[in-house]
A and B are shown apart, each in its own frame.
Chain A
Amino acid sequence: MNLRTAVHLGVITSLGSLMVLGVSQFTEEARTENRRDALESNLMELLRGDAPMTFDLDASRLETPVALCDTQDGLQAAVIPGSASGYAGHIGFVAAVRGNGEISGVRVTSHSETPGIGDVIEADKSDWIHSLRGRDAQATFWELVKDGGDIDGVSGATITLRGLVKGIGKSLSQPLPECAE
Chain B
Amino acid sequence: MSQAAATFVRGVARENPVWIQMLGLCPAMAVTTSVTNGLGLAMATLSVLVGSNLVASTIPIPERARLPALVFIIASFTTTVVLLLEAFAFTLYERIALYVQIIVTNCVILARADGFARHNRPHIALLDALGVGLGFAAALIGLGALREVLGSGTLLSGMEHLFGEATRNWEIRVLPKGFEFPLALLPPGAFLLAGLAIALFRPVKDT
- A residues contacting B by CB (< 8 A) are 1, 4-5, 8-9, 12-13, 16-17, 19-20, 23-24, 27, 30-31, 34-35, 37-38, 114-117
Most buried by B among A12, A19, A34: A12
- How many chain B residues touch A (CB < 8 A): the figure is 30
Q: Are B86 and A27 in contact (CB under 8 A)?
A: yes
- B residues contacting A by CB (< 8 A) are 33, 59-62, 64-65, 68-69, 72-73, 75-76, 79-80, 83-84, 86-88, 90-91, 93-94, 151-152, 180, 182, 185-186
Q: Are A27 and B87 in contact (CB under 8 A)?
A: yes
Chief secondary structure at chain B's binding surface:
helix
- Considering only CB atoms, which chain B residue lies closest to A116 in the complex? B182
Within 8 Å CB of B90, what residues of A?
34-35, 37-38
Most buried by B among A1, A9, A35: A9
Q: Are B151 and A116 in contact (CB under 8 A)?
A: yes
Within 8 Å CB of A23, what residues of B?
79-80, 83-84
Minimum distance in angstroms from A63 CB to a CB of chain B? 17
Q: Are A16 and B94 in contact (CB under 8 A)?
A: no
Minimum distance in angstroms from B60 CB to a CB of chain A? 7
Within 8 Å CB of A5, what residues of B?
62, 64-65
**Which of A9, A19, A117 is within 8 Å of B62, CB to CB?**
A9
Complex CA gap A16/B33 in Å reads 33
Given contacts A23-B80, A27-B83, A34-B90, contact A12 B182 (CB under 8 A): no
7 interchain residue pairs of minimum CB distance: A116-B182, A16-B76, A27-B87, A30-B87, A34-B90, A8-B62, A115-B185
- Considering only CB atoms, which chain A residue lies closest to B180 in the complex? A116
Q: Are B69 and A12 in contact (CB under 8 A)?
A: yes
Given contacts A116-B180, A116-B182, contact A16 B88 (CB under 8 A): no
Complex CA gap A27/B81 in Å reads 11
**Which of B59, B65, B91, B151 is within 8 Å of A115, CB to CB?**
B151
